[in-house]
Amino acid sequence: MTEFFNVLTPPDAWRRLTEHYRPEPHPESVPTARALDRVLVEAPTAPHDLPEFRRSTVDGYAVRAKDTYGATPGLPAFLDVVGEAPMGREADIPVGLGQTVLVHTGGMIPPGADAVVMVENTQQADASSIEVLGAVAVGENVIQVGEDVRAGEEILPVGHSLRPQDIGGLLALGITTVQVARPPRVAIISTGDEVVPPDQSPGPGQVRDINSYTLAALTQRAGGEPVLFGIIPDQREALEAAVREALAACDIVVLSAGSSVSYRDMSVDVIGAMGEPGILAHGISIRPGKPTIVAVAQGKALFGLPGNPVSAMVLFDLFVSPAIRLNLGADPRSTFKPQVQARLSRQIASAAG
């Protein structure tokens, strides 16, 4: 039985963990439309240019830019309207000298045109011509072929978590499936004779199990798949059997409670018996959460978190969430919260020490 903590700072404990823990992501193919927040293990490349044709960014008139040079409200350029570019079909009406074609936002630019005049900068001269009230430059209000993505270009890097806009961009290129990391299975074991299920009325000295479900929710948010192993009593044999089963079935094992130094807290001994390198840290210089266990056995990470719900959540964010991101092939720092400096506006009472 361990009798004292060998306290490490969180960075030192994390460094020790990553020296022995280098998981590889397990790829799986999923529909792009259902891949939100999934982490790429293969970088998708563009099968074609995007856009595939020149498009207008505004409602207006496709023109030859040089036909508008020098135009002002007082001395407009007059252009003949020779047609309208249909939406969803090829714009095949050519724009010649002194001519223009009506186009709509997102519509195809007709041949011969190299710019678009916003409709707000024109006025009707007669039934078949317009006045252009200001000059436009070549390429103005036009999205060029391949301006968003070029054919063969890597669209998103390996390790990237897919956002809503990423999914839209991939589908715009016809990429309907992506290779992503399988969510790591995270075993969650709650320990203690005093812990009862949430649907059971606790008796004297008992408490409902909330940590299992809090940690399961945190696991899902970090990108893992929680596997609840239930409540294990304060019996060495039962706990050891549960941890061995969890190690065989899951990628990460998390124990809640049973990490303090006391005669009833046996998590550190059980975890230490799972194999090499074993316990890497037992005691983190943080409050709440000092009696935390960090270990590696059989190539998998094990964590013993305190039973206090706040402590368990804090240490989960510090160690388990980044470990989940490592399993996904993502940057573990992506789970860290941004830090800001602030000044307290009032005193806050705290316990001594």
pLDDT over threshold 90, residue 266: no
Phi, psi dihedral angles at 200 (to 5 degrees): -110, 140
Q: How far apart are CA 130 and CA 114, in angstroms?
A: 18
Q: How far apart are CA 61 and CA 79, in angstroms?
A: 10
Domain boundaries, the chain: 10-26+183-335, 28-50+147-180, 55-143
Architecture, CATH, for domain 55-143:
Beta Complex (2.170)
Q: List, in order, residues 6 or more apart from 191 with CB less than 8 Å away.
A: 231, 232, 233, 234, 239, 255, 256, 257, 258, 267
> Over pLDDT 90: what percentage of the chain?
76
Q: Is 89 exposed, middle or buried (0-12, 13-18, 19+ CB in 10 A)?
A: exposed
Can you give the pTM of this predicted structure? 0.81
In the structure, what pLDDT confidence band is assigned to residue 263 with cuts at 50, 70 and 90? very low
Q: List, in order, residues 6 or more apart from 293 with CB less than 8 Å away.
A: 255, 259, 267, 268, 271, 279, 281, 282, 302, 303, 304, 305
- Is it true that the peptide bond before 288 is cis, omega within 30 degrees of 0? yes
53 vs 2 pLDDT, higher one: 53
pLDDT, tens digit (0-9, with 9 covering 90-100), for 300-339: 999 999 888 999 999 999 999 999 999 999 988 766 667 7
Q: What is the pLDDT of residue 101?
A: 97
The fourth-level CATH superfamily of domain 28-50+147-180 is Molybdopterin biosynthesis moea protein, domain 2 (3.90.105.10)
Q: State which CATH number among 3.30.360.10, 3.40.50.300, 3.90.870.10, 3.40.980.10 fits the domain covering 10-26+183-335.
A: 3.40.980.10
Q: How far apart are CA 211 and CA 311, in angstroms?
A: 10
Q: What is the pLDDT of residue 262?
A: 53
pLDDT, tens digit (0-9, with 9 covering 90-100), for 216-257: 999 999 999 999 999 998 888 999 999 999 999 999 999 997
Q: Which amino acid is at 173?
A: L
